Amino acid sequence: MNVKSIARAFIGLVSVIASAFAAAAPIDLQFWHPALGSVDAALKKHVDAFNASQSEYRVVPTAHGTYDETFNAMIAAYRSGKQPHLVTAIGQETLTLQLSGAVYPVQDLMVDFGQKVDWSRYIQPIVSYYKSKEGKLMSLPFSASTPILWYNKDAFSKAGLTRPPETWDEVGDYATKLRAAGYPCAYGSGWQQWVHVDNYAFMQDLPVATQRNGMDGLNAEFVYNRSIVKHIAQIQSWVKDGRYEYLGRQSSSAIPAFISGRCAMVTTSSANFGSVSRDAKFAYGAAMMPIEAGGKAAGPSLIGGGSIWVLKGHKPADYKGLAAFLAYLSSPDVQATWHKDTGYLPSTQDAYDKVKLSGYYNEFPAQEIAIKQLLRGTATKESVAVRLGSPIQYVAVIEEELEFVWSNKKTAQEAMDESVKRGNEILRRFQRQNAGAGSAK
């Protein structure tokens, strides 16, 4: 055999090996999610376990900053035809994604690729948030949370307090005693719009907006200025006398202020359990969100956090892998571990039952508070979801107007009236932009 024949044979062999390697290489599935600190490590653990369980697919998780930054990056990528397969989006973006034409409904995906999921076993206040008007599940609930009250038990003992507050009036009374006991921040809050507007109204069956909080149509209008002004004015009075400390728009300052021992009470996400349980150097507790004294029995709270959306524009073989991965994330074992590791709610009743039967909540009762709050009472037409367009914009307006209240530049009524006016202008623009999409599907 001459040199040329040997060379051709060698090249042929290399080609065969390369082809075999290519055939054996797993298909990469890109999964974009927000950067959430220790939660990212918990997510990677499950992704790695799925990848190790089979050789056909490899899920590649990538953090993209905040929820808003992740969402904006996804939009830019989709427009350029370089979208990921999966993206975790905050719940408030549900309407935008449903109307976008860019998503593959998760319920259809599972049916199309033979993955059997009993959606009836999902905790209904969680799964209902992500259903279309016709009842189809559009995305996979995974990192769901709800606000609760975190409190410093050692601080309470020092102030002579024996139980957590149950009403907003009691929060104010407790704050007075905690200040007297030497705590510079008696009460603060993370995610103030979610806590003091959406959830305040939600748990007392008060509308945030018309059209069943936007569930029944794009022509919804904000009306929360008719129902939450007294509550906002009460907090404004606490700001003036030092009982309430403004801790920012989201939660980056609230939990550090609590963990450090400076703030004795904070209302923020139940998903902060991991940070609190790991870093707090004092006895802590968790309680359901306060309600108004003398009102009717509180209903369920509103969830937050995110869900996993499947984006269009990929190959059928990719979607087979995506269905397998989402089915894996839906398993009771994964859901139970995710819940314990992060503080996010278990999305399924089976996972909740599994954790409860293990006795876990006897050791960590704070972990069950959010679930009990979510399941209390009966959901009404006003307590299914808040589904409105352009949430990044309208939430920023509400946050800004609340800041005017806390800085005493506006009364609660003036600020809420103005935020409703500005917010409705944003909703009308969204309605015009999506006129061809009809009602929220």
Across residues 328-333, what is the average pLDDT? 96
- Residue 304 confidence (pLDDT): 92
Q: Residue 9, class by beta-carbon neighbours within 10 Å (0-12 exposed, 13-18 middle, 19+ buried)?
A: exposed
Across residues 253-276, what is the average pLDDT? 94
Contact 439, 133 (CB under 8 A): yes
Residue among 34, 106, 108, 110 nearest 74 (CA): 34
- Residue 37 confidence (pLDDT): 81
The per-residue DSSP string of 28-86 comes to EEEEEE---THHHHHHHHHHHHHHHH-SSEEEEEEE-SSHHHHHHHHHHHHHTT---SE
| Tens digits of residue pLDDT in 115-163 | 999 999 999 899 999 998 888 999 999 999 999 999 999 999 999 999 9
Across residues 38-51, what is the average pLDDT? 94
| Tens digits of residue pLDDT in 337-381 | 999 999 899 999 999 999 999 999 999 999 999 999 999 888 887
Using N-to-C axis directions, what is the helix angle for 316-329 and 332-342, rounded to 10°?
70
- Residue 149 confidence (pLDDT): 98
Across residues 240-266, what is the average pLDDT? 94
Q: Is the pLDDT of residue 275 over 50?
A: yes
Q: Is the pLDDT of residue 22 over 80?
A: no
- Residue 138 confidence (pLDDT): 96
| Tens digits of residue pLDDT in 396-411 | 999 999 999 999 999 9
Residues 88 and 139: their CA atoms lie apart, in Å, by 9
Q: Count how many Cα atoms sit within 13 Å of the Cα of residue 225 in the half-sphere of its side chain.
A: 19
- Residue 251 confidence (pLDDT): 80
Tokens of 297: 């029995």
Amino acid in the structure at residue 242 = G
What band does 439 get if pLDDT is binned at 50, 70 and 90?
very low
Mean pLDDT of the chain: 92
> Where is pLDDT greater, at 229 or 436?
229
Report all structural domains of the chain as residue ranges with CATH numbers, in order of start.
Answer: 27-145+304-357 (3.40.190.10), 147-302+377-437 (3.40.190.10)
